[in-house]
């Protein structure tokens, strides 16, 4: 199957790199958060506020299962790895890449972002602790761990594409 799944914390560049990879490999991009918003005709923030995180996580799981049945570049939400069921599903994926970023990098990228419900009204320390609590889970499901702090999205996409193609040979 021609499939690359991008995981990582908020602000890691999953959506940006996903778009580049989709163009480079001529595959559709499935951005799970975007797909959820389109299907439910509301924002992730609104789903969290009105239905709660557990309902969102259930919707997210269903979207992941659907996405994994297709040839595509799949960009996941930062919390997708919290569910054991999702980690099991990711284990069936063709190629999972963890875009690893340092707290200083993602905090800089997330400044002023009001679209991510889990970081609203949280301090830098709380956001960093959230990241640190997830690091092992990202690494657990990854076929490739790519530190992205000093790379452009184009460079990240190029490395992923090369690694993906080598694995297919």
15 belongs to an annotated ligand binding site = yes
Asked whether residue 13 is marked as a ligand-binding residue, the answer is yes
Model pLDDT, residue 116: 57
C-beta atoms surrounding 58 within 10 Å: 14
Is 66 annotated among the ligand-binding residues?
no
Cα separations in angstroms, 2 against 9, 89, 90, 104, 110: 24, 16, 14, 33, 31
Task: State yes or no: 12 annotated in a binding site.
Answer: yes
Residue stretches of the chain with pLDDT short of 70 = 110-121
In the chain, domain spans: 3-168
Residue 70 marked as a ligand binder: no
11 is in an annotated binding site: yes
**Whole-number pLDDT of residue 10:** 84
- The helix/strand count (H/E) of the chain reads as 8, 5
Spatial separation of the C-alpha atoms in residues 29 and 18, rounded to whole Å? 7
* 141-158 residue pLDDT tens: 999 999 999 999 999 999
- Per the annotation, does 105 bind a ligand? no
CA distance 73 to 23: 10
> Tell me, what's the pLDDT at 113?
62
The response to whether 167 counts as a known ligand-binding position is no
Fold of the CATH domain 3-168: Rossmann fold (3.40.50)
Please state, in angstroms and rounded to a whole number, the distance separating the CA atoms of residues 135 and 166.
26
pLDDT value, residue 165: 93
- The whole-angstrom separation of Cα 85 and Cα 14 is 21
Q: Is 142 annotated as a binding residue?
A: no
pTM value is 0.92
- At residue 104, the pLDDT reads 82
């Amino acid at each position: 199957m021609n499939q690359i799944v991008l995981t990582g914390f908020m602000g890691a560049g999953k959506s940006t790199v996903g778009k580049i990879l989709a163009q480079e490999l001529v595959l559709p991009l499935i951005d799970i958060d975007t797909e959820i918003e389109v299907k439910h005709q509301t924002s992730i923030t609104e789903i969290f506020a009105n239905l709660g995180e557990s309902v969102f996580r259930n919707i997210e799981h269903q979207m992941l299962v659907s996405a994994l049945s297709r040839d595509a570049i799949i960009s996941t939400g930062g919390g997708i790895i919290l569910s054991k069921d999702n980690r099991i599903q990711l284990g069936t994926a063709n190629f999972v890449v963890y875009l690893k970023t340092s707290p200083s990098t993602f905090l800089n990228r997330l400044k002023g972002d009001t679209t991510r419900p889990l970081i609203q009204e949280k301090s830098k320390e709380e956001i960093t602790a959230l990241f640190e609590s997830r690091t092992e889970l990202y690494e657990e499901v990854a076929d490739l761990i790519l530190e992205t702090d000093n790379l452009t999205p184009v460079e990240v996409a190029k490395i992923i594409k090369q690694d993906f193609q080598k694995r297919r040979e």
